[in-house]
Structure 1
Amino acid sequence: MSENKYDLCERLEDFAASIILLYDKKPLSYASDYLAKQLIRSSCSSALNYGEVLGVGIDADKINKLRICLKELRESQRNLNIQSKAKLFSNEDLFGLKNENDQLIRIIVTRIKNIN
């Protein structure tokens, strides 16, 4: 993950890149392929939507984009949990991603609360 753990944009990008790297060299079953593609989409979407937050001036628009980031991160969280329960990866392989995903969710929730 990012060396500067306080740069949210960088952390979201690193999170998405870590997921891409996890699946890049692994042979996939039908289930893991399906979940991998969806996880890559949701994790990348959270980073891309946060990039849009940085360019928005109106608080209502910022909140809307942050809520999209939050939705995508929660989708990523469910996906990682399903993969863990289905033993598609070991818990050790997913622990860091699940932990970072949880921290990112908490940060986005806090950002939304602080705008209101």
Structure 2
Amino acid sequence: MENARKYDLEDRLVHFAILALNVCDILPSTKAGNNLEHQLSKSGTAPALMYGEVQAAELQADFIHKMKCALKELRETKINLRIIKEKPVAMHESVGIALQECNELIAIFAASVATAQKNRSK
């Protein structure tokens, strides 16, 4: 059962990366749009890639560190999506969908880090 949940999160992260790239595709070719697209394409796909490293962590401290790195990228992505939505650089429903998923993933990763840190201190 544990493995099923792990792979569900991996699938969700891959889906999120695709959502982020879809937002990149709708951004205008302006200075602002190009800058935000560059940042979003990197930070929006990084958590899925980092999760592979999380799964291979050999020590609990390594696991926590890698989860925190993925969480950092998710938080960066959230701010980028907020800028795109609030400026607005692009008005499309995919921006809101990606932002909602990002918020949910941040909650999952933050809870996982907190649990791992609590278990580590026992």
Give the TM bin, normalised by the shorter chain: 0.7 to 0.9
Q: Which amino acid aligns with 2:83?
A: I
Q: Deviations over 1:39-81 (max 9, x none)?
A: 1100111111111000112100000000000100000000011
Alignment partner, residue 83 of structure 1:
84
Matches within 5 A, 1:16-95: 16-24=17-25, 27-90=28-91, 92-95=93-96
Output the TM-score relative to the length of structure 1: 0.87
Identify if the C-alpha distance between structure 1 residues 99 and 24 changes in structure 2 by more than 3 Å, giving closer, same or farther. same
2:58 counterpart SS class: coil
- Counterparts of 1:48 and 1:105 in 2: how far apart (Å)? 16
In our comparison, the structure showing a higher alpha carbon Rg is 2
Cα RMSD over matched residues?
1.8
Alignment partner, residue 10 of structure 1:
11
Segments of structure 2 that go 5 or more residues without pairing to the other structure are: 118-122
**TM-aligned CA deviation for residue 106 of structure 1:** 0.3
Output the TM-score relative to the length of structure 2: 0.83
Alignment partner, residue 104 of structure 2:
103
Q: Provide the aligned length of Structure 1 versus Structure 2.
A: 112
Identify if the C-alpha distance between structure 1 residues 56 and 46 changes in structure 2 by more than 3 Å, giving closer, same or farther. same
Segments of structure 1 that go 5 or more residues without pairing to the other structure are: none
